[in-house]
A and B are shown apart, each in its own frame.
Chain A
Amino acid sequence: MRVSTRSLLCPCVCLCPTRPCGPAAPPGRGRPPALPGQRRWERLRAAMSPKGRKLLVDTLTRSAKHFTKSEVECLIKLYDTLVAKASRQFAGAGFDRTVFRDTLYSYFGMTDDMVLDRVFIIFDKDNTGRITVEEWVEGLAPLLRGTLEEKMKYCFAIYDLNGDGYISKKEMFEMLKHSLLIQPGDEEPDEVVKDLVDIALKKMDYDRDGKLSFTDFEKAVRDESLLLEAFGPCLPDLKSTMSFEQKIFREIPKK
């Protein structure tokens, strides 16, 4: 299947599905200026010959680390399906946030909007606003089969909203503010959430600096594994992982 690898030049994570909010890309099939690393990548995808495909699979198997070659093939197939669905709506390579969120919801039952946004941002390493096949496979690796270290890094990245290497109280507040059922006649609802934030901090802030560094987070998770997704579910649970793997990797060809 031939898919064009035109990428939108809009690096902002806006939600506009059809047009970049920057200067409009010329219609037709002109090649926009490539971002670094994109050229090789485009060549690989654009070729779409069996050899090109094989090269892609090899590259991804190496970089994603947790999947076998046949599993990577299946993931690419899935990606293509999703992209095809997306392409029907608009031109462009890869699929965007909406499709991504729908996908994660339908396969993994993940519903929290804020978390899903963060996951998208993490998947989308080059900040193009669209998920390429490389980002797709490499992003799924820690989700489905990550070691504890990888999962910790992943979750920490999700919770660190501004990416400064620390989870601050403000960020915790943002993530937890919808977690509590505020009762009428309670003190200020904000206070209730702030209390919870304090509790979490007390539990996890080992160096007592008022914010969670990765070291703090890691220590806390090693001590109590339930705290891995402390601020919101961002990993698929066992059941959905298993059913996803069963469904998608079902057609692994027997060698």
Chain B
Amino acid sequence: MAKQESSMSKEPAHKKNQHVEGAEISGQSQSLHNLTEKTECEKGKTCSTGPTDQRSKPHMKWKSSGISASQSGDKVRKKYSEGEGKSRAGSLTAKKKASGKSKSVKIQETSKCKASISLEDSESSSETDEDEHPVRRQEGGSDLSAEYWGIQKLAKYVKGGDPTATLIALCSMRDFDLSEETCQLAIKDTGCLEVLINLLDTEEIKCQIGSLKILKEISQNILIRHAIADLGGLEIMVKILDSTDTDLKCLAAETIANVARFKRARKTVRKHGGIKKLVELLESISVASSYQVKDTETVRCAALALWSCSKSIKNKKAIRKAGGIPLLARWLKCSHANILIPIVGTLQECASEPSYRLAIRTEGMIETLVKNLSSEHEELQMHCASAIHKCAEDEEIRDLVRKHEGLQPLSALLDKSENKQLLAAVTGAIWKCAMSRENVLKFQEYKTVETLVTLLTDQPEEVLINVIGALAECCQEEENRGTIRRLGGIAPMVTLLTSTNPALLVNVNKAVGGCAMDPENMAIIDSLDGVRLLWSLLKNPNPGVQASAAWALCPCVENAQNSGEMVRSFVAGLELLVNLLKSNDKEVLTSICAAIANIAKDEENLAVMTDHGVVPLLSKLANTNNNKLRRHLAEAIAHCCMWGSNRVAFGEAKAVAPLARYLKSKDPLVHRATAQALYQLSEDPNNCVTMHENGVVKLLLAMVGSTDDILQEAAAGCIANIRRLALATEKAKYG
């Protein structure tokens, strides 16, 4: 009988227990020591980042003072965890003993790694979450709270009792308010966290459940999350997902969902096959039969865990490889909000991957997402809108949203302006959907533009970015430009030109540019000093902002009254513009060329730009394969030829030969612009020679027959000039 075994193994356990005692005591004094140390730290300077919990702080200290010290540190830990393993020998299975030993090695390794990479944890990641190792906030004095002592007392029973005593202690521990930070940290500091995780590694289902119930609550705390991951808790929880007990599986999944909120944890889950198991849990029951709360609990918890994990790009791929997408599609059709929310949350996270968007399109998920936009749960609505926002990058999906009548509920949701997160998601969805012209027309039916204009003021930035983006897309339609003006939307837009958020600025520029295509709007923009603001954005360090500002300037210059004077009125404005031709960013270069093409239509301004050296700068760009850049560059050159000796200058700067090569591209817009440029350049005889040498005539001859009038004329004119020169040369030669 087990009782006899326990009495026998008590003897050897005795000896180890002494070690345990020793380690425990030293551990305790360490913690007190640390606490006083920390408070001193607080008073003086701010403590540096780095793990400050009890276990690794001494470790780091010893590490710096020499190898032997760190080894002794390791030994203490090893005995501590080994001793723990042994002290339960009488009560728990032998398997646990072995795992206790291996755990001690693991703990050492992970903490060693942790010490060295803790500072690197704060690498930049695409996910905006807590990757830096959390710094512990210190409370004032060295008074340990009442909770600390209570929990420590219970911890004693958890560590030193058989499953019965452990259970009683664990159940009592839940009477503390585990959502309070003092309790959470108390559990960590008393070493109870390690014991809880050790319990997970046993075969005692009730103890595992009891431990997980506590871990689930306290893992809301960021320090505890990191600690759990460091102690190898995640691997064990992933193993538990294989168990047959439903309650246990659900608790494990929910705890994983809480812990996996930072990058390293998500990686751990993936590395131990957790993603696959979670996806399998989704498969466990069919949707139709699931009207019992207990059955669907597994699915809900698994979905929550997948949602947390899906924030990592590699995990998104892993979910797909494990066959998660059809399952997500299946569960999307269920009607329980508490399952739907994590499922849609996961989809929305993953929708940034093109493979998911393809699946979302083909598995018919758009229809369900649209349907759920009309749900009563605002959180669900928000996630659906977010998913649509991310998916609508693809044109097909935009069409699908329209086909399933998704635009109307989106528009209706704009009225719920108190819930800012929902509003941000909805406006985001509207923005991306508006990239398709048919959608914009639909939005006009629902008077969306009017509502959007009212949202231009008094909104948080995430909302504003999307609202302005949406308006920018809508401005491509003439009617909307008028609507915006009538509703007084232009003034707030121009005010936003002074903001500092780059994403916002890019959208505002686009919107202002879009509005400026209407001359009446342009007048208002000008009166509000909008052009000057746009121009000064050319100085912004962000290339996206520069480019969008330059693009916006094109219609401004085109449509403004007295645009020539207006441009000249900006002190050093043209110099700034021309100097941007030295940028490295292709989009910036393209947009500047477009702006220059517009500005050069005014002679005086062209003269000024020439003085600033626009000709050599443009010529330097000529060697490019980028069609968009080629087109605008050719246009700019064409217009810049109209002043003084620029034609000759271009020829000397060796711009002509590269231009000739543009004719070989497949883009008709490039052809048109190049032909115009060549026509202008061919007024100078030297350029004609260069062009002829580069085989321009043959290519232009083909274009003479094109349907594009401008191209025809320009091509013909250029060929004519070349011919005339040839004839004149002949005449001169032969008299």
Residues on A lying within 8 angstroms of B by beta carbon are 105, 111-113, 176, 178-181, 183-185, 195-196, 199-200, 202-203, 224, 226-227, 229-233, 237-239
Contacts and interface: CB of A to CB of B under 8 A. Distances in A.
Contact of B171 (A178, A226, A239): A226
Contacts of A105: 1
6 contacts: A112-B2, A176-B164, A179-B165, A181-B10, A202-B172, A226-B170
B616 interface: no
Contacts of A227: 167-168, 171
Interface string B167-183: 11111101100000000
Contact of B14 (A184, A199, A237): A184
Given A180-B162, A196-B169, A226-B171, 11 more contacts: A111-B3, A176-B164, A178-B162, A180-B160, A180-B161, A184-B17, A226-B170, A226-B206, A227-B168, A230-B171, A237-B205
Contacts of A226: 167, 170-171, 206, 209-210
Interface in B2-60: 2-3, 10, 13-14, 17-18, 20-21
Given A179-B164, A200-B168, A237-B205, A185 B21 contact: yes
A199 B174 contact: no
Contacts of A230: 164, 167-168, 171
A196 B17 contact: no
Contacts, number: 85
Nearest to A203: B172
B163 A233 contact: yes
B164 A195 contact: no
Interface centre among B20, B164, B245 (most CB of A within 10 A): B164
Interface residues of B, number: 37
B161 A196 contact: yes
A219 B170 CA distance: 18
A184 B161 CA distance: 14
Interface in B114-155: 153-154
A180 B87 CA distance: 10
A51 B162 CA distance: 50
A113 B7 CA distance: 14
Contact of A232 (B20, B90, B164): B164
A226 B164 CA distance: 10
Contacts of A238: 205, 244-245
Contacts of B162: 178-181
Contact of A181 (B13, B18, B164, B175): B13
A181 B2 contact: no
Contacts of A232: 164
A199 B157 contact: yes
B340 to A, nearest CB: 28
A181 B161 contact: yes
Interface of B: 1-3, 10, 13-14, 17-18, 20-21, 87-88, 90-91, 153-154, 157, 160-165, 167-172, 174-175, 205-206, 209-210, 244-245
A161 B80 CA distance: 39
A113 B2 CA distance: 10
A196 B168 contact: yes
A195 to B, nearest CB: 7
A231 B10 contact: no
A198 to B, nearest CB: 10
Nearest to A114: B3
B10 to A, nearest CB: 7
A217 to B, nearest CB: 13
Given A181-B90, A196-B165, A113 B3 contact: yes
Closest 9 CB pairs of A and B: A179-B165, A111-B2, A179-B162, A181-B160, A180-B161, A179-B164, A203-B172, A200-B168, A199-B172
Contacts of B167: 226-227, 229-230
Contacts of A113: 1, 3
Contacts of B169: 196, 199
A176 B165 contact: yes
Contacts of B164: 176, 179, 229-233
Nearest to B207: A226
Nearest to A183: B17
Given A111-B1, A185-B21, A233-B163, A199 B168 contact: yes
Contacts of A178: 3, 162
A195 B153 contact: yes
B174 A224 contact: yes
Contacts of A199: 154, 157, 168-169, 172
Contacts of A239: 244
Contacts of B205: 237-238
Nearest to B168: A200
Nearest to B14: A184
Nearest to B10: A181
A29 B3 CA distance: 41
Nearest to A101: B1
B251 to A, nearest CB: 11
A84 to B, nearest CB: 25
B165 A203 contact: no
A202 B171 CA distance: 11
A224 B171 contact: yes
B199 to A, nearest CB: 13
Nearest to A199: B172
Contacts of B163: 233
Contacts of A181: 10, 13, 17, 87-88, 90-91, 160-162
A226 B212 CA distance: 12
A244 to B, nearest CB: 16
Contacts of B157: 180, 196, 199
Contacts of B20: 183
Contacts of A176: 164-165, 168
A111 B2 CA distance: 6
B631 to A, nearest CB: 72
B171 A203 contact: yes
Contacts of A229: 164, 167, 206
